[in-house]
Amino acid sequence: MLADPLSGSAAARLLTGARWRLAAADVAALWRRAGELSSPEKADTPELVAERVEQAGLIDAIDEPGDPARYSEEGFKRIKRIGWELAALRRRLDQSLPELVADVERTMLLDVESLARPGSAGRAHLDAFAEVVTDYAETAPTATLLSFVDYLNTAAHAEDGLTPGEVEVVPDRVQVLTVHSAKGLEWEVVAVPHLVHEVFPGRRRSSSWLRTATSLPAALRGDAEDLPELRIAEGYDRKEVQEGLELHEAGFVEREQAEERRLCYVALTRSEHALIVSGHWWNESSSRAKGPSEFLTEISDVLRETGVGQLAEWAPEPAKEDENPLVSDSRAGRWPVDPLAGRRTGVQTGVELVSEAMAAPPEPAEEDDDPDGWLTDTDVLLEEWARKDDQVKRVPLPSRLSVSQLVALADDAARLAGDLSRPLPVEPNSFARRGTEFHGWLERRFAGDQLIEIDDLPGAADFGEAPDADFEELQTEFEKSEWAARVPVAVEVTFSADVEGITLRGRMDAVFADPDGGWTVVDWKTGAVPPESRIPALSVQLAAYRMAWAALKDVPVERVRAAFHYVRANRTIRPADLLDPEALQRLLRDIPEA
């Protein structure tokens, strides 16, 4: 969305869309400017000729629009603002992929658009896309923007695109969505258009794995039991092998036809009271008539035979020499389309009135600030608006959580939900104040150096963590503690545990053997002792450590104790009511609100 990915048709859609609405003359001027930038005669240096010939496009022209006189006055203002936004986004390319995509969402005002249309599926799709971005970044540590765009293009061509966000039924508006998205939902009236030959059911997009290099062999797929069997045995001659391959291919054709029929069944069973189905002879571009699909023909036959519904119209088939009226007949329309249409004057007037009111100095307060009851009415309307959506929005937890995120879930679930759905950049020096030098000293003191990952740095969940500059003071205080004379059985133990389908990752600072045959897991804290009100949430970290060590040793969790030791205060806190595995499962099962 920042460089090459925003070229060609994608760039044209953005520039002529509802937000920027560049006119055709300005887009044409930009394209001519792109041609100048690609021209050897216009190039600043001969060395850049080849590169510009390959890369120059509408976005390059936006970066260097040239003479303002070639554009309309308003168009040039919009072009400069688009260029400024793209330049600002490029400066943030060093962020992680989820943060960068969230930045793009905010900069392009997609979040505002979804909030301005309550009840729409916009937010659901944005959240679903954010989850895809996060999953991709987790599975591809070296993920870049361009590699992610390649991944999206591959998904669109090889896997029919990504799974859309879940859509909710909104009773007071018309909703347009795919049959896949409508599964499990129901409306009073449903219209299923385009039951047309090679549209629904659609033309077969690809063959089986026998002819498509990107497809997995049937035997290696997870749904192998439902796929046609390849019946070829040792000793078959060439003819028998060929027949086996053809039967295998035919099985895939039959399976795809059955899938299309099941999809049609889903579409036809979404209505509560009324169902409308339709097809057409002519589409917007074809030179040959299309005609009804087998689904529409079968439905019409049922209507004629049973009289259950009404066959409103069945147009006769056009003659072979007839031309497509949608192609031959010229049509006029305004472009780019005004998204406000007839409401623009009223909306613009409202914006001007609000802007003037905000700029005007406040009037002196009168004895009766609300003589007509407007403030009361406004409060009531605002409360009604706040209650308009009584369905709780839930944010699915990712497949992997760090112990720090688990503590955040117990401490402030709403904040964690916001961080997961709309990740923000973290402070650049967040790891500099985690007492890592002290943790490293303890590790060497007990067991020698071990490699650690940056996400698992010791002290990640500390409360008011200490700067590394306090290293010597922390050493002195630790030598006074009860733990200085004890020898741990393990230090810096990395673990990964599965709870409710979510993988918890973390590192235990130290584990000590107890005289009664049990163990105590200790987490060193270099910061201040937190208030009592925060101990229950922070103790979730110890509960996870205790469960992990019990699983590693294959012993009951009751035999494992856990404690925080606050080094600076020389105080050890042993929470009495640590969560057991069932309680941890309930915590992860209670997905936080968005």
What CA dihedral angle connects 342, 346, 347 and 350, to 10 degrees? 180
Task: Judge contact between 4 and 92, C-beta under 8 A.
Answer: no
Residue type, 190: V
Q: Strands 502-513 and 490-499, how do they pair?
A: antiparallel
Q: State the pLDDT at residue 371.
A: 66
Residue type, 176: V
- Mean pLDDT throughout 421-439? 54
Nearest CA to 266 among 155, 370, 341, 192? 192
- 262-289: pLDDT as tens digits: 999 999 999 999 999 999 999 888 888 8
- 140-158: pLDDT as tens digits: 877 888 888 888 888 877 6
By the 10 Å C-beta count (0-12 exposed, 13-18 middle, 19+ buried), 413 is classed as middle
- pLDDT-based confidence at 5, cuts 50/70/90? very low
Name 187's bridge partners.
Answer: 271
- 486-526: pLDDT as tens digits: 889 988 888 887 777 777 888 888 999 999 989 999 998 88
Matching residue, tokens 């010939």: 53
Please confirm whether the linkage preceding 336 is cis (ω < 30° from 0): yes
Q: Coil, strand, or helix at residue 253? A: helix
- The secondary structure of 170-214 as a DSSP string is -TTS-----HHHHTT--EEEEEE---BTBBTTBPP----TTT-TT
Distances (CA, A) of 424 to 102, 103, 412, 463: 7, 8, 16, 21
- Cα–Cα distance between 470 and 466 in angstroms, integer? 7
Name 499's bridge partners.
Answer: 502
- Cα–Cα distance between 492 and 348 in angstroms, integer? 62
Task: Please state, rounded to an integer, the average pLDDT across all residues of the chain.
Answer: 79
How many C-beta neighbours within 10 Å does residue 130 have? 20
Q: State the pLDDT at residue 429.
A: 42
| HEC-encoded secondary structure of 171-183 | CCCCCCCCHHHHC
- 446-490: pLDDT as tens digits: 755 444 443 444 444 454 555 555 678 888 888 889 998 888 998
Q: Which two tokens stand for residue 427?
A: 């402070």
- 115-130: pLDDT as tens digits: 776 656 677 778 888 8
Q: Which two tokens stand for residue 138?
A: 């987790």
3-state DSSP helix/strand/coil % of the chain, to nearest 5 = 45, 10, 40
- 50-79: pLDDT as tens digits: 444 455 688 888 988 989 999 999 999 999
Q: Where are the alpha helices (DSSP H) in 238-343?
A: 238-268, 294-306, 325-328
pLDDT above 90 covers a percentage of the chain that reads 16
Please confirm whether the linkage preceding 201 is cis (ω < 30° from 0): yes
Question: 541 Cβ partners below 8 Å, 6+ apart?
Answer: 403, 404, 406, 407, 461, 506, 523
Please list, residue by residue across 48-71, b when 16 or more beta carbons sit within 10 angstroms of its beta carbon and e when fewer do.
Answer: ebeebeebbbbbbbbeebeeeebb
Least confident range from 134-143, 355-364, 402-411, 559-568: namely 402-411
Q: Strands 502-513 and 400-402, how do they pair?
A: parallel
Q: Phi first, then psi: what are they for 33, rounded to 5°?
A: -65, -40
Q: State the pLDDT at residue 194.
A: 92
Name 192's bridge partners.
Answer: 277
- Mean pLDDT throughout 205-210? 70
Element (H, E) at 358: helix 344-359
Q: State the pLDDT at residue 279.
A: 94
- pLDDT-based confidence at 563, cuts 50/70/90? very high
Instruction: Please check the confidence at residue 434 and state whether its pLDDT lies above 60.
Output: no
- Mean pLDDT throughout 381-405? 68
Q: State the pLDDT at residue 266.
A: 92
Least confident range from 154-163, 474-483, 552-561: namely 154-163
- Cα–Cα distance between 108 and 594 in angstroms, integer? 21
Q: Where are the alpha helices (DSSP H) in 429-528?
A: 436-446, 471-479
Q: Which two tokens stand for residue 210?
A: 């026998």
- Cα–Cα distance between 467 and 526 in angstroms, integer? 9
Nearest CA to 62 among 84, 41, 95? 84
- pLDDT-based confidence at 321, cuts 50/70/90? confident
Question: 427 Cβ partners below 8 Å, 6+ apart?
Answer: none
Q: State the pLDDT at residue 4.
A: 43
Task: Judge contact between 58 and 30, C-beta under 8 A.
Answer: yes
Question: 587 Cβ partners below 8 Å, 6+ apart?
Answer: 406, 409, 410, 540, 579
Q: State the pLDDT at residue 396.
A: 66
Q: What is the DSSP letter of 343?
A: G
- Cα–Cα distance between 261 and 38 in angstroms, integer? 50
